[in-house]
Amino acid sequence: VQHFHQLAQTLRDARFVVDIGSNDGILLKPLRDLGVRALGVEPSINVSRIANDLGLQTHTAFFDAACVDHILSRNEHPDVIVASSVFTHLENPHLFVESVKRLLAPDGTFLIENGALKAGIRNFRFNESLVDLLNCVEMMSPAERAAGEESSPMVVPAMKVKSFNFTEVTKF
């Protein structure tokens, strides 16, 4: 519980937060207490009912294109989307990320916690200095051969980088 209170503190300046896999509102409650507008998305009927009964706005649905349509028909694009312990439960991470891209505000933040990306996510861009990025590397895998759509084949490691932000999504 303490972790989610600390996370809420880091999000206290957000305009609108969508918490995917919001459970019983464990993050929604401290956000509400801080005055941050938040919406949970929780597929479990019983669990989302607990959150709603506590006055924590929660949409009962799996997060997909239809859910995004529902949210956008009633709200603006969120400036923060949180997905805590969600990626390990996804059948198709790429479709999930496509839905996130549709929902998230252009200047928004997509926060993934305790997840493992098992497939590449395409079309995200960044404009941070590569020198700054390399100074923030926390972990690095062995190098593997990779090829991008905009580059020649190369050998690169996967990296875990702290305080790294994607800035936009390409249109191709």
pLDDT tens digit at each of 172 positions of the chain: 888 999 999 999 999 999 999 999 999 999 999 999 999 999 999 999 999 999 999 999 999 999 999 999 999 999 999 998 887 778 888 888 889 999 999 888 888 876 544 444 556 666 677 788 788 888 888 888 776 655 677 787 877 777 776 666 665 4
Closest CA to 39 of 48, 28, 50, 49: 28
HSE-CB of 101 using CA atoms within 13 angstroms: 17
Q: 2 burial class (0-12, 13-18, 19+ CB within 10 angstroms)?
A: exposed
Whole-model pTM? 0.70
- What torsion, rounded to 10 degrees, do the Cα atoms 157, 99, 150, 171 define? -160
Q: How far is CA 31 from CA 16, 26, 48, 57, 141, in A?
A: 10, 9, 17, 11, 35
